[in-house]
Amino acid sequence: MDIKENGTTISLIRGDITLESTDAIVNAANSRLAGGGGVDGAIHMAGGAQIMEECRSIGGCPTGKAVITTAGLLNARYVIHTVGPIYKDGRHNEPELLESAYRSSLELALEKGLKSISFPSISTGAYGYPANDASIIALKTILEFTKANPGKLELIRFVLFSDQDYNTYSESLKKLLKTARKTA
Ligand code: AR6
């Protein structure tokens, strides 16, 4: 599914983020930048040791923030490592921290002058964030960002690892666009 909002193409695809050739891919990291399973494990595995070396020298990243490294052997130029919240019950600042993880990643991409970026579904694997709630936050943050920074990023891709996640994000995007059109 592809849409264009405020000069930015937003694409939802089902796939593996390590195969992306956007300027940056985003990693759902932990605050020690120590590597792990899920998308983090896949990125370090495919990207080689260079990425971990840079993560070690950066040292860590607070939840809701983002840091950047080169992308080693990957097709992308950079990896933006962000740390989403561990979901408890939704009343421990999880929505704000998840929004902040997406926003910090987008801001870092702008600071670096990048034009395209690919996101995974941050926090919805090992960190347990319900995918439906997370998808609304993710997409809303991106739509707001394109409104505040029209045309600055040419392409924002969501690379969803399962059909179920792809369907969840597609439904959420349709819902958000409907609401936006009504209130416009
Ligand atoms: N491409 C795209 N999406 C993927 C890929 C891939 N290659 N592999 C997994 N996913 P998770 P989190 C999806 O657990 O919840 C790590 O150990 C996956 O299906 O990777 O933010 C870190 O070190 C799910 O939908 O990230 C942290 O400790 C989504 O990516 C912790 O897990 C996110 O799942 C972070 O947990």
Q: What is the pLDDT of residues 26-71, one digit of tens each?
A: 999 999 999 999 999 999 999 999 999 999 999 999 999 999 999 9
Could you read off the pLDDT of 126-184 as tens digits, one per residue? Answer: 999 999 999 999 999 999 999 999 999 999 999 999 999 999 999 999 999 998 877 76
Q: What is the CATH number of the domain that holds 34?
A: 3.40.220.10
pTM of the model: 0.98
CA of 19 to the centre of ligand 1 (A): 15
Q: How far is CA 70 from the centre of its chain?
A: 16
Split into its structural domains, the chain has a count of 1
3-class DSSP assignment, residue 160 = strand
Write the DSSP symbol of residue 112. Answer: T
Determine the atom of ligand 1 nearest the C-alpha atom of 84: 21
Q: Give residue 143's domain range.
A: 2-183
Task: In whole angstroms, give the CA distance from residue 132 to residue 95.
Answer: 12
Residue nearest to atom 23 of ligand 1 (CA): 36
| Cα of 183 from ligand 1 centre, angstroms | 34
